[in-house]
Amino acid sequence: MADVSVFPSQRELGAALARLVVEAATEAVASSGRFTLGLSGGSLVALLARELPPALREAPGADPSRWLVAFCDERLVPLEHPESTGGAYRSQVFSQLPPPGPQFLFVSTGLGPAEAAKDYEEQLRRAFPDQEVPQFDLLVLGVGPDGHTCSLFPGHALLQEQESLIGFLRDSPKPPPLRVTMTLPLLNSSRSVLFAAAGSEKAPVVQRILREDPDLSLPAARVRPRAGKPRWILERGAGLGLRLRRGSAPIGGN
C-alpha cells in the first residue's frame, strides 16, 4: 500500500504539506545546491500560502533562492487572471518571501495551446540540460473527484502520450478548456511525488486509487515516480473509508 497519512483538519494537512516541501528542499539544496519543485494549483495554493512561508522562515537550509519552481499544469489565461496557477502562486505564496526568491518557469499563456506546450517543454529542457527527461526533486499534486490530476482527465487521449513531456488541451472537461499539462512520462520521471487532498467528495476516488489493485482508468492512479509509489497526505474527509496499515497514522495527528 502507498504511504498514507490522514489529518483531522485542512490546517493540519497544510502544515504537513509545507513541512514535507521544506524537508525535501533542505535535503536537495544540501546535496546538489538546487531544489526542483513542480506545483499543481487548485486548493493546494491556499494550503501552501498559509503554511509554507512561516515554515521556510524556520528552515534557513531550505533557501528558496536555490529553488526552481515549475507548474504541473496551467490554464491559458493571463497570470493576473484568478484561474492562473502560476499567477496564484506568485501573488499568494512566493510574494510573502524576501528576495531573492525562486526561479520560475511560467507557461507562455499568450500563445496558442500547441505553441505554449512546445515552448514550456523547451524551457524545461533548458532548465535540466543534463537529463534526457527532467527529474524533479518533488512534484506536489492534487486529485479531483473524477480522479484527474494536473490536466490529465479520465479517458483523454493525453493519457496515452509517450513522447512529449508537455501536452495541451483544447477540450478540458473542466473549464477553462485551453490548458497545458505535464504528461505521465514527465510526472513519472520525478524523484518523488506527494499527493494532497481534502474533502469527503474525494473519498470514493481516493479509495479506488489506493486499493491494492488501483483503478488505472483514473489518471492519478497512473502516477508512479522513480523512487516508487507516491506519498499521500489527506484531510480526514478525503481519507474516509480507507483501511490503513499499522504505522500509517498521521504526522502529528490521529
Is residue 179 included in any domain, yes or no?
A: yes
The per-residue pLDDT for range 83-139, each reduced to its tens digit, is 999 999 999 999 999 889 999 999 999 999 999 999 999 999 999 999 999 999 999
Residue 132 per-residue DSSP state: S
| Distance between CA atoms of residues 254 and 250, nearest Å | 6
**Residues pairing with 74 in the sheet:** 180
Instruction: Assess contact for 105 and 68: CB atoms under 8 A.
Output: yes
Is residue 182 included in any domain, yes or no?
A: yes
Higher pLDDT residue, 247 or 68? Answer: 68
The predicted structure's pLDDT at residue 244 = 65
- How many separate domains does the chain show? 1
Of 106-115, 212-221, 241-250, where does mean pLDDT reach its minimum?
241-250
For residue 208, the enclosing domain spans 3-235
Instruction: Assess contact for 15 and 47: CB atoms under 8 A.
Output: no
Is residue 34 included in any domain, yes or no?
A: yes
pLDDT at residue 247 greater than cutoff 70:
no
Using CB atoms within 10 Å of the CB of residue 72, give its burial: 0 to 12 exposed, 13 to 18 middle, 19+ buried.
buried
Is residue 218 included in any domain, yes or no?
A: yes
Q: What is the mean pLDDT of residues 44-52?
A: 95
Angle between helices 10-32 and 43-57 (to 10 degrees): 60
What's the CATH code of the domain at 224? 3.40.50.1360
| Distance between CA atoms of residues 206 and 67, nearest Å | 30
Is residue 240 included in any domain, yes or no?
A: no
**Residues pairing with 35 in the sheet:** 67
Task: Give me the DSSP letters along 150-212.
Answer: TTB-TT-GGGG--S-SEEEES--SSSSS-EEEE-HHHHTTSS-EEEEE-SGGGHHHHHHHHSS
- Residue 24's Cβ-side half-sphere holds a number of Cα atoms within 13 Å equal to 24
Is residue 189 included in any domain, yes or no?
A: yes
| Distance between CA atoms of residues 249 and 123, nearest Å | 40
pLDDT band at 228 (very low <50, low <70, confident <90, very high): confident
Instruction: Assess contact for 28 and 36: CB atoms under 8 A.
Output: yes
Provide the CA 67 distance to its chain's centre, in angstroms. 15
The per-residue pLDDT for range 173-206, each reduced to its tens digit, is 999 999 999 999 999 999 999 999 999 999 999 9
